[in-house]
Structure 1
């Protein structure tokens, strides 16, 4: 059944997206100004190894004998480890002994198969993974190389949990931008799996051509490989001697504080007597005699007595006796006559006999 126009449009859009994505991820073709170079260093004559049983490449596994008091480091890589495996270049002496698993021409997928099927007679204290530089030509994009490299790392971690990685060795036949893009992708994949990644590209500048042999791919035995041996030794020391960082503390959800007990408020001071009932009051009279309302009082009580009600505002208030003594005031006859002239009263002339009575009334008031 022929496919319609919508299918052809979707296929064209997919191809355009792939081209854009490839350009964004990395540089696949060398720039116009890039010129492949060759090295000036020396390299030994390559010896033939036995073919691998799982991949179509030559393969060699070297495990050191003895030295049980030293830590064993297993280095896994491609053809860059030929000089170490054949004993042409020696590793620095010290607290470590090194074994090598070399598969020349192998990419990440081939190295994964070799790791899964390798028979290692001695359990390594750590595994050093040399990032496969053959993926520069075996993979179309850095993303594809990163996917293969991630599967390769998972295979190594499934057998030896303590592993670290070293970036790929630069080549004079590939642009520095392309090598940088692939190393960045490898670094991102390693960090996702929690594997430490050490970059060595800055130790191999393109201007120092004696670090490579004439093919521009492999390192020279007199300069490039001894430098790589020192970098592997330093990375192993840093990985094994650096204490592991503690796991990050997870943030816990805070709950509102609930006190275990309710504090009691204790006030220290003079305790005031409780107030009397609201129905009680106190009568205060001018003769300094008082009686409560609950007692019977005679009908001859003085009209000048005053009553003060209790004041209660919710606190204990002691009721105190309050009275005002009255002082008698007497006026002379002359003063009364003068007062009558100034303000005559309705009674008219006040006789002198009534002066005493008037003074008594003022005294009562």
Structure 2
């Protein structure tokens, strides 16, 4: 070991058709490494790198020097819970970000799994650390775990209140790790091809010539009488007062015979005075 922490690296035999998943974490993996509990049988094979008692920075150091014989198809990094008591939340976040970056530089697919809660540490402090871990792990998939371990169900923990019980507690953690790996390596279904939607037919509009009925004015019995031409037209009386200024006396007399005006007689109007000749 390069950190003073004892560690164990377990690599499964290579099986054709099975994908290899490496799980990196602290003492929560001890029961899996020692064989007290196994992973479900599936198309995946699991290896483990367990560093009991290690913080995020110490796990990172061991990852840098781990002699992994073949490249895993995916790497699951368990969020280290030892940082709850060894460092501040801010420092733990920086160390966890460096751990994820180191794993990402070494292997292609990396995802993170939240740490199980502890009974002996303030729940609010644990939530703050989870939030910081999730924040710095924004570029990788982060699987939550806390809702699967209700604090009222004490059989999920061993007597120390830190580690999970080998049967009930670890059984839940195993299912979480397995389902997260399945989801990470699941091949997304092909995107269905969408046929182009046919354009709606263009409606052809044929121009129509509309011929409206025309109205001819009926012949007027009086040639000088005005008539209104058109459908529904009304005839309105109108007159033009005869003005002797514009018309001569002879013209006024002739017009008066044809169309009497409202004037009493021609004598009511005095003709304009003739300009005097200057000698």
Question: Which band: TM-score by shorter chain?
Answer: 0.5 to 0.7
- Give CA deviations for 1:232-283 in whole Å, capped at 9, x if unaligned: 0000111111539x9xxxxxxxxxxxxxxxxxxxxxxxxxxxxxxxxxxxxx
Residue 18 of structure 2 is matched in structure 1 by: 70
- Give CA deviations for 1:168-222 in whole Å, capped at 9, x if unaligned: 111001121111110000000000xx10101100000110110000000001111
* Matching of residue 207 in structure 1 with residue 155 in structure 2: no
4+ runs deviating over 4 angstroms: none
Q: Which has the larger radius of gyration?
A: 1
* Matching of residue 118 in structure 1 with residue 84 in structure 2: no
Residue 42 of structure 2 is matched in structure 1 by: 94
Answer yes or no: is the 8 Å Cα contact 2:73–2:108 preserved in 1: no
The alignment's TM-score, normalised by the length of structure 2, stands at 0.67
| 1: CA distance, partners of 2:187 / 2:18 | 17
| 1: CA distance, partners of 2:104 / 2:74 | 11
- Give CA deviations for 1:147-166 in whole Å, capped at 9, x if unaligned: 11111111111101210000
| 1: CA distance, partners of 2:16 / 2:187 | 22
Of 117, 123, 142 in structure 2, the residue corresponding to residue 170 of structure 1 is 117
Map 1:122-133 onto structure 2 (within 5 A).
Answer: 122-133=70-81
- Residue 67 of structure 1 and its aligned partner are, at CA, apart by 1.3
* Matching of residue 227 in structure 1 with residue 172 in structure 2: yes
- Give CA deviations for 1:131-156 in whole Å, capped at 9, x if unaligned: 0000001112x111101111111111
| 2: CA distance, partners of 1:80 / 1:197 | 18
| 1: CA distance, partners of 2:24 / 2:136 | 18
Aligned length: 194
Aligned alpha-carbon RMSD (Å): 1.9
Contiguous gaps of at least 5 residues in structure 1 = 1-51, 247-338, 344-365
- Residue 68 of structure 1 and its aligned partner are, at CA, apart by 2.5
Residue 85 of structure 1 is matched in structure 2 by: 33
| 1: CA distance, partners of 2:71 / 2:14 | 13
- Give CA deviations for 1:98-130 in whole Å, capped at 9, x if unaligned: 000000000000001011111101210000000
Answer yes or no: is the 8 Å Cα contact 1:63–1:122 preserved in 2: no
The alignment's TM-score, normalised by the length of structure 1, stands at 0.51
| 2: CA distance, partners of 1:79 / 1:213 | 13
- Give CA deviations for 1:44-64 in whole Å, capped at 9, x if unaligned: xxxxxxxx1x11111100000
Residue 157 of structure 1 is matched in structure 2 by: 104
Q: 1:217–1:184: structure 2 CA closer, same or farther, 3 Å change rule?
A: same
SS of residue paired to 2:137:
helix
Residue 107 of structure 1 is matched in structure 2 by: 55
